[in-house]
């Protein structure tokens, strides 16, 4: 169970965040920066995103209770949101949206691109936050599983950091076509996970009604 949860959490988050897919955006918002400054931006973006996701892992379920939203309902809504993101990935819409967000940040001369747009909303966006809250709900208060979720968040953040630091080389290696193909393949995988979240939510609702 712990290993299965860790694998499921890692695959879900790595697909939603998509570190390789963020490489062109990172290159765009850090264009003209010195290598040392780029590394600094990459580090802060990863730290900010991890802190936000870890916060929702801890307080997400509490927030749902305060808003009187049941976890099954959130699973269904979250699954639909993730399916929407998966559709954007499959049809190439997400890449365009990320580029537009990056261009907006550059046009507005954002003083700290690590926080916006990299950490929010590209890394720790609605999809990633939703996924973390859903995964946190699956821990059922088990400290071991919750600790594993924190570890997965840190690992995904590390993947993003490595991808950003190696952005120039990765960009040359995969090219534009490779990035599109990868994004669409990951989108199909995320769509299947999203459907599973919806089915879990519906199952929980039916069990509650039957009880």
What span, in angstroms and rounded, lies between the C-alpha atoms of 196 and 170?
Answer: 32
Confidence of residue 86 (pLDDT cuts 50, 70, 90): confident
Q: Which residues span the domain enclosing 97?
A: 2-205
Instruction: Give residues with Cβ within 8 angstroms of 8, minimum separation 6.
Output: 135
pLDDT at residue 109 in the model: 47
Identify the burial level of 111 via C-beta atoms within 10 angstroms of its C-beta, where 0-12 means exposed, 13-18 middle and 19 or more buried: exposed
Query: Would you say residue 211 lies in a domain?
Result: no
Query: Would you say residue 210 lies in a domain?
Result: no
Give the tens place of pLDDT for each residue, 19-46. Answer: 988 887 787 778 777 888 889 999 999 9
Query: Would you say residue 184 lies in a domain?
Result: yes
Domain count, the chain: 1
Q: Whole-prediction pTM value?
A: 0.77
Give the tens place of pLDDT for each residue, 146-174. Answer: 999 999 999 999 999 999 999 888 877 77
Query: Would you say residue 143 lies in a domain?
Result: yes
Q: Where are the alpha helices (DSSP H) in 108-166?
A: 126-138, 143-165
Confidence of residue 194 (pLDDT cuts 50, 70, 90): confident
Query: Would you say residue 151 lies in a domain?
Result: yes
Residues 131 and 78: beta-carbon distance below 8 Å: yes
Query: Would you say residue 85 lies in a domain?
Result: yes
The helix or strand, by DSSP H or E, that contains position 24, with its residue range, turns out to be helix 23-29
């Amino acid at each position: 169970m712990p290993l299965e949860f860790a694998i499921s959490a890692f695959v879900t988050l790595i697909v939603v965040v998509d570190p390789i897919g963020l490489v062109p955006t990172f290159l765009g918002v850090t264009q003209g920066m010195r290598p040392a400054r780029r590394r600094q931006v990459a580090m802060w973006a990863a730290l900010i995103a991890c802190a936000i996701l870890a916060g929702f892992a801890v307080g997400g379920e509490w927030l749902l209770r305060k808003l009187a939203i049941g976890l099954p309902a959130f699973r269904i809504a979250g699954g639909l949101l993730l399916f929407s993101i998966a559709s954007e990935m499959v049809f190439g819409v997400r890449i365009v949206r990320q580029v537009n967000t990056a261009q907006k940040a550059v046009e507005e001369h954002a003083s700290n691109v690590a926080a916006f747009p990299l950490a929010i909303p590209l890394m720790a966006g609605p999809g990633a936050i939703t996924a973390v809250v859903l995964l946190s709900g699956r821990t059922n208060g088990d400290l071991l599983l919750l600790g594993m979720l924190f570890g997965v968040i840190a690992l995904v953040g590390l993947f993003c950091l490595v991808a950003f630091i190696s952005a120039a080389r990765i960009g040359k290696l995969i090219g534009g076509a490779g990035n599109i193909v990868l994004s669409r393949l990951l989108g199909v995988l995320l769509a299947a996970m999203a459907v599973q979240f919806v089915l879990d939510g519906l199952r929980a609702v039916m069990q509650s009604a039957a009880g």
